[in-house]
Structure 1
Amino acid sequence: MKKIMMIGKIGCGKTTLGQRLTGETVSYRKTQSIQVIGDGIVDTPGEYLEQKQFYSALIVTAVEADVILLLLSATDEQSTFSPRMSSMFGGKPVIGVITKTDLCRDKERIRTGKEILEIAGAQEILEIGFGDDACIETLKSRIEKSSPAIQIP
């Protein structure tokens, strides 16, 4: 099974994005451990990014992933992505996703978010508003393009 791994801070929208990508009903639940949404979207706890002692868990989990999504909320004032973070994923495609753009009033934060994700090593960066189906479809197509073996319904 081909897998997509999502990494981001607590509350950045990983679980919601996974539910939107798979067509599941959106319902908030605190991700306490690594979970799989649908047939292959790996949802990692935000603590794994926020506390560097858990980076090894991200690296081990990424071994099974085909595409890595780095999520950053447009409403968040701080980032915890390290420069060149994508280099620890063995050359796998890394897509940056700025979430909650529909809730962000300060467009400068979106620009700053893009810079942060570029420095972290995202090869491509997309903006997502969770209420916008077109954004979700664009992300699906970019994921499938970066790893043709992945097919998202």
Structure 2
Amino acid sequence: MNKVMLVGKTGCGKTTLIQSFQEQKIVYKKTQAITFSGIFIDSPGEFLENRRLYPALLTTSVGCNIVALVQDATLINSVYPPNFSSMFKKRILGIVTKVDKESSNPERAEKFLRRAGAEEIIMTSAIDKTGLQLLRESLTKVDMDDI
């Protein structure tokens, strides 16, 4: 399976998504530093929110095959600049989280991710497990550039 770095705003659901994907008990915890958990590299939201920390994202991405841009479907804005993904020479995956929430707008979240450079978008909910099987299948795809 590929190694995946999750990048997203603080509170967008990166850590919760990892816990649900790995069938762990969901416990909210603020990611304070780069965390490695199975196939996932979990980055603190501040690394995206503060442009001066972009070099930390670039350095960390060296250890992965996929960079997953994570967008909370309940937010009305995005912190991803246009073509954000172009700084990575990796497969870029977009993951929309919290699609189960009544206030979610997955279509808007998808637009944010496409503008940032994600080509493949997966809609997910860590709570009701929506999209987790599709995410699992996507993460096991072999990228021909890696062969």
TM-score (norm 1): 0.87
* Alignment-derived partner of residue 151 in structure 1: none
* Alignment-derived partner of residue 66 in structure 1: 65
Residues of 2 paired with 1:46 and 1:76: CA distance? 15
Which ranges of structure 1 fall in alignment gaps of 5 or more residues? 149-153
Which ranges of structure 2 fall in alignment gaps of 5 or more residues? none
* Alignment-derived partner of residue 89 in structure 1: 88
Is residue 71–residue 96 contact of structure 2 (8 Å, CA) maintained in 1? yes
Is the helix fraction higher in 1 or 2? 1
**Which digits, 9 at most, give the CA deviation of each residue in 1:71-130, with x for residues without a partner?**
00011122000111111111x111101100101435xx3212111111111020111122
TM-score (norm 2): 0.90
Identity among equivalent positions (%) equals 36
Q: How far apart are 1:2 and its partner, in Å?
A: 4.6
* Alignment-derived partner of residue 117 in structure 1: 113
* Alignment-derived partner of residue 12 in structure 1: 12
Residues of 2 paired with 1:131 and 1:23: CA distance? 11
> Which residue identity is paired with 1:66?
N
- 2:74 partner SS: coil
Aligned length: 144
* Alignment-derived partner of residue 130 in structure 1: 126
* Alignment-derived partner of residue 101 in structure 2: 103
Residues of 1 paired with 2:142 and 2:107: CA distance? 23
Residues of 2 paired with 1:147 and 1:104: CA distance? 35
Q: Which runs of 4+ in 1 moved over 6 A?
A: none
> Which residue identity is paired with 2:53?
F
Q: What RMSD, in angstroms, separates the aligned Cα atoms of the two structures? A: 1.7
Is residue 99–residue 129 contact of structure 1 (8 Å, CA) maintained in 2? yes
